Structures are given as C-alpha cells and as structure tokens.
Chains A and B, each alone.
Chain A
Amino acid sequence: MELLRFATAGSVDDGKSTLIGRLLYDSKAIFEDQLEAVERLSRQRGDEYTDLALLTDGLRAEREQGITIDVAYRYFATPLRKFIIADTPGHIQYTRNMVTGNSTADLTLVLVDARKGIVEQTRRHAFLASLLRVPHLLVCVNKMDLVDYDEAVFTRIREEFKAFATRLEVTDLAFIPISALHGDNVVQRSLNMTWYEGPSLLHHLEQVYIASDRNLIDPRLPVQWVVRPTASTVPDFRGYAGRVAGGVFRPGDEVMVLPSGLTTTIAAIDTFDGPVDEAFAPMSVMVRLAQDLDVSRGDLICRPHNQPTVGQDIDAMMCWMADRPLAEGDVVALKHTTRWVRAQVRHVHYSLDVNTLHRDDSANVLRLNDVGRVSLRVTQPLFYDSYRRNRFTGSFVVAAEDTNATVGAGMILGAG
C-alpha cells in the first residue's frame, strides 16, 4: 500500500469541510465518538447543521472564532492507499499555511464553487501549488447540484482554468465535477452527471501515478549522522546515515564526498534489517565507504559525474512568514539539507502578488505572506540543485537569529 499526501485549501463557503468530512466518513476514518462530539458542539452553538469543520478545528480559539488557524493533518486509508491530508485555511495566514501544506504534497486539491466559478482564491491556490511544484493539481468543481448538474457550467470553468494555468507550470491537471453534499462523484460515480466520463474523486486519488514524481536520476545523500559504535563487537565501524534526497545508490558505486571532493566506492548499504542492494528517496539508510575518508554531518555524497552546484551565492524564490519584514542587508540563519549556515540578503529583486501574479519590481523588502525573488550570500558553500530539479536539495528554511522562530522558506532557482 502506497502513501499519498495531498493538500487542500479553501474558504468556509466552498464546501471543503463537507468534502473532507465525506471522504473521512465514507472511508470510516471518522469515529462515532468524534461525530457525537461535533454534533453536540454544533447544537450548543446553535448551528443549523452539523458543522464538520469542527472535526478539524481542534483548538479552542478556532472553535470560538469559527475559523481555522493552522494546518490540520487528517488521515484515512482505502485498501489501495493511505492518505495524509494537509488541510489549510484559505484566508488567515494563507501563504504561510498553504506553502507549508504544499511543501510535502504529491497532489493539491483546489475547490471551485460551480456558481461562482474561478475567483481570486482559486488563482492563489493554483499559483502556490505550482510555485511549490506539487506534481499533480486536481480541480474539483463543487456544488454541481446547485447548477442543475449542468455540463456547460463545468466546461466553462474547466476551460477558463486551463487558460489561466498556461501561465503556471503545472505538469498534471485534472478536473472533476462533484457535489460534496450529496456525494456525487466523491466516492461513487454520479448518476446525475452521466455526461462526465472520468473517475470519481476517490478513484482519482487512489490511481494517480506518483512513482515517477521523485528524482531518481541525481544521486544525493546529505550526511545526517555518523554512526560509530563503541562496542568491541563492531570495531572500526563507521556508517554515514541519512535520507536519500535523489537518485539511486548501489553497493560498488563510485561516489564523491563534498566538500572534500574525494572519491571512493560504496562498500555496503546497511540497515537494521540487513544490507540492501539499492537506496533511493526517501529511504533512510546508512552507507559504508570502501575507504576511510573524513566525512561529517552536513557533507553530501553524490556521484563524480553527477554533482550538485556548490556555491555561496544563491538566487531563490522566498515566502516570508514573519511580521518583521525581510530587507536587504538582513542576516538570518538558514537550514539546507543537514546544515545550518548564516545568510545575508544581497538583493530583493521583486515581490509577486499571489492573487494577480503581478510582479512588483520596486519592492525592496518582503512582508508577511509575500512571495519574492531574492539573492542571498551564505557563510559556507551549499551543495544544491534547483528546486525544479530536486525538492530536497533545492529547498531551505530560514530562522531569525534572535528569536529562533522559523520566518521564511525558500526554493532555489540557481546561482545568484
């Protein structure tokens, strides 16, 4: 059984909670005691209907204010796949939350209200999913029951979205007309929309092909921890543990260690359960090298003929997540793979309006929830690929040096 992570985003009215509630309920991931608690709370509040958002709005402030503050993670499984939903609010702190939820997603589900069509939020959701390079984008046109299940409405919205999506980089785009309230095309194919010949939403989630989404071409192993047992049963043992960030490693492969540039071969790939003959992303493994090299945390193991870029000047798209703006000259702590460095902002090139995709070249700071292109200089060389090529070696987060809070996230475009 495979794991599929998907992110959703939406506002109160577009039926997102109803849809998630239905997926969870129909797959038996909502339990009776949870449902009873939600029904009780809904009655106390005087809601006209049971508000399934209360299932995910777990914090007191959220229930009191009737808003979703934070990314909520929900879990359900069918016989074919286990699903992890990153459920992100559509309005409050939307950039921060949607960027977070999309960063690890295989698929993003964008909900469109059939009566309203494509609105500002739809464009924002789609843009952020493409910015984070989520491999699959699924547009669900919801509330089809309220437009008499009219094919023309669905077609118009689909064509309008496709036209807009040509401005984005979307590799896989699919559309499904649904009614979350009545269950049309959610789990079962709808009898009300016989003109639609595609799969139901759940069927699409179960079948969408994700195996080729990972980078299996560029071998990258950021060294996380050096395993050096002190026990006399394993003398001189030295293993380099880490999570494979790209490509495939095999025993016997000639490898290069950065930053030293020294080469050797892989003696073995070990695990607690025994040696393995292949390691690929996102496996956590431990490799032993044929020669005793000086390797420590933060180093990177790659192939001599396939190396990442090594450099201190980086050009990146950044999302800013703190009240205090990011300005030219600012210094922050930056974590890339398994190393922390300091970074100084050399230049803010522009900020992007996530609603209109309008580029503001006069911007010289990034404010809370802004997305923008910046040039950074870091204190030590990083071993990186472009985010487009590799999500693991092309991403970083930054923290404020005084408060230690996580204040931004970046996707590497290339050398700055």
Chain B
Amino acid sequence: MGGRAEAGQYQLSHLEALEAQSVHIMREVVAEFERPVLLFSGGKDSVVMLRLAEKAFWPARLPFPVMHVDTGHNFPEVLEFRDRRVAELDAQLKIASVQESIDSGRVVDDPGPNPSRNRLQTRTLLDAITEHRFDAVFGGARRDEEKARAKERVYSFRDEFGQWDPKNQRPELWGLFNGRHRSGEHIRVFPLSDWTELDIWQYIAQETIEVPSIYFSHRRTVFRRDGMLLALNQFVTVLDDEEPFETNVRYRTVGDMTCTGAVESTAVTVDEIIAETAVSRLTERGATRADDRTSEASMEDRKREGYF
C-alpha cells in the first residue's frame, strides 16, 4: 500500500464514519453491560438510533428493550409511529408513564398555562431505571444541540441518584470506553454525540428511514407564545391576548405538545428539510423548545438531576 491513489479508495464518507462509530459504541455496550435499554421518543434522533441498533446486531434481533418515557402530552402521530416501528422490529417496548408517577404521588403536575411535564420526566425515568435495574441507557442526545451537552461524554457516568457531575467526568481516548460502575449506578450512552442535525437528516435521506409525519409541513392551528408557535391542543390553555390561527408548519424536534414549538415551513420531503436545515440560522432547540429557555444553564441543571 502507500500510493495516494490506492489509499484514497479506502476512505469513508462522513456518514459512513459516523455510522461505524455509533455501531461500535452500541456493540461495546451490549458486550459489557448486563441490562441495557434504548430510550425511544419517536423523534428523528431515536429513529436513527433504532436503525443503527438494527445494523449493529443484524441478523439478530435487538438485544435490548426500548423504553418510552411517556409524558401523556404526546403528539398522537408520534405514538402511532412508535407502536408501528416497534412492531416492525419485533422489539420489546417498555413504557414509563409520567401520569402514573403523578397518580402515585411521586411528582406533582404543573398547574400553569402550558403545564410542562418536561422536568417531571426525570423522576419517572430514574424510577424506571431502578425498577428494571438498567445499567446502560442509550440516549439520542447530540453535542451540537446544546452547550452543556457539548461537554458530555459518550459514556456519561451517573451515580446512585442518577446525577451527572460535569466537573468529574471520565476522559475518553481512542474510543476505548470505560463503563465500569457499581451496583445501583448506571451509564448514559450517547452514540450520536458527534452527529449534527444536518447529519441526522442526511442519514435519514440516505437510508430512506421513515419519520413521524409531524416533521413534514402540514396545516395546523397554532398560536404565538414567547416567540414560538404552539399547537392548539387539549393540554394548553390559550391566554386572552393569544390569537390562534391556521398555517403551514412542521416540527424540528419532537417533545411534549405543551412546550414544543412548530416552525413555519412548506418542506414536505426529506430533501426539502435538508435544504431548510442547511440555511437555518436558529438551533433546533432555540427555535422550538420552551423547556430550554428557562435559564442559561437550564439544560445543565436538569442533566445534573438525571434528565436525558
């Protein structure tokens, strides 16, 4: 070997390199942990995670269950998609219900005009991890999403309270991951750490992966709150000065109906979404997530408590 022309043939595209890295991470977790689980929200990142897991273990079935932390404030289109996708993969679905956490008195619902259950999910998630004794929890978070996440490891150690300690993280070198932990502790694993929003959409296009319909432009009745377009739905109360109107929108992220904003868009294909994403001047979270706007450090604070 050695000639430039020859070596040049052995070069991966950026999506191939990212895929190879994510598959490596997933296999490593399955080999070293006893009870992994993959968090699945139905959002585009978790849809890509499922495809990567299929690739990592094919032709065997997924060697772990998938879990949805269900806030009860979901988009119905996303729940329908979740159930169909899980059935196609013949995967085992576990549902951790925030409503059950509320009913059993573990957490208290927010009575405000957009009653976010975002923060409540943390308790439900941690309870489910304890109940099922999960020791590795795959999440679809990416480092380009948010600046606290930009500092998080691929293997993110959580103590017995599920807490993240950003100042005391394990160095990660050469893709040699250290998943050692004691009983009761667990590792959050983020195989998409190095992917960007654009990479995700390019991969969805390349692989022709189906995503929930709300990612594509559709007619919806919305109203403006804090500079975001929120869908009119049974979980939010429209205030006097808020005027609902119908327009063409799509979603850039999938979260609760109470806190996930839509963007005005006419993109009806993945290629049109890619074109929009490539020129967007707002991050997906800045544009569409009320939960991240509370303070400069709201993501860091929630992550410290054990959030995704």
Contacts and interface: CB of A to CB of B under 8 A. Distances in A.
B282 A33 contact: yes
Contact of A395 (B176, B296, B297): B176
Contacts of B300: 58-60
Contacts of A69: 151, 166-167
A276 B267 CA distance: 35
A144 B10 CA distance: 39
A16 interface: no
Nearest to B169: A70
Nearest to B55: A272
A235 to B, nearest CB: 11
Determine which residue in B16, B199, B296 has the highest number of CB atoms from chain A within 10 A of its CB, and name it.
B296
Contact of B27 (A28, A230, A241): A241
B61 interface: yes
A171 interface: no
Contact of A100 (B57, B150, B172, B181): B172
A145 to B, nearest CB: 29
A283 B20 contact: yes
Contacts of B23: 284
B194 interface: yes
Given A3-B14, A224-B27, A58 B150 contact: yes
A39 B194 CA distance: 26
B151 A70 contact: yes
B228 to A, nearest CB: 12
Interface residues of A, number: 79
Nearest to A387: B174
B297 A56 contact: no
Contacts of B13: 1-2
Given A229-B59, A241-B56, A99 B173 contact: yes
A284 B181 CA distance: 26
A164 interface: no
Interface in A309-346: 321, 333, 335-336, 338
A31 B28 contact: no
Contacts of B176: 335-336, 395-397
B234 interface: no
Contact of A282 (B17, B149, B193): B17
Contacts of A211: 4, 7-8, 10-11
A225 interface: yes
Contacts of B282: 31-33
Given A32-B282, A56-B150, A60-B300, A228 B171 contact: no
Contacts of A73: 143, 150, 193-194
A61 to B, nearest CB: 6
Contact of A229 (B14, B17, B61, B280): B61
Contacts of B10: 211, 214, 216, 248, 278, 280
Contacts of B19: 284
Interface in A183-213: 209, 211-212
Interface in B170-200: 170-176, 178, 180-182, 193-194, 196, 198-199
B14 A2 contact: yes
B17 A37 contact: no
A35 to B, nearest CB: 9
A405 interface: yes
A225 B30 contact: yes
Nearest to B5: A211
B141 to A, nearest CB: 13
Contact of A77 (B54, B59, B194, B198): B198
B113 interface: no
A283 B12 contact: yes
B20 A282 contact: yes
A212 B173 contact: no
A3 B30 CA distance: 27
B178 A335 contact: yes
Given A100-B171, A211-B11, A216-B7, A271 B55 contact: yes
Contacts of A32: 281-282
A231 interface: yes
A182 interface: no
A391 B18 CA distance: 19
20 contacts: A1-B14, A3-B18, A32-B281, A58-B149, A58-B151, A59-B300, A60-B300, A96-B171, A211-B7, A212-B2, A224-B31, A225-B27, A225-B57, A241-B56, A243-B175, A297-B31, A333-B180, A338-B31, A395-B173, A397-B178
Interface of A: 1-3, 28, 31-34, 37, 41, 55-61, 63, 69-75, 77, 81-82, 84, 96-97, 99-100, 103-104, 209, 211-212, 214, 216-217, 224-225, 227-231, 233-234, 237, 241-243, 248, 271-273, 278, 280, 282-284, 297, 321, 333, 335-336, 338, 391-392, 395-397, 399, 404-406, 409
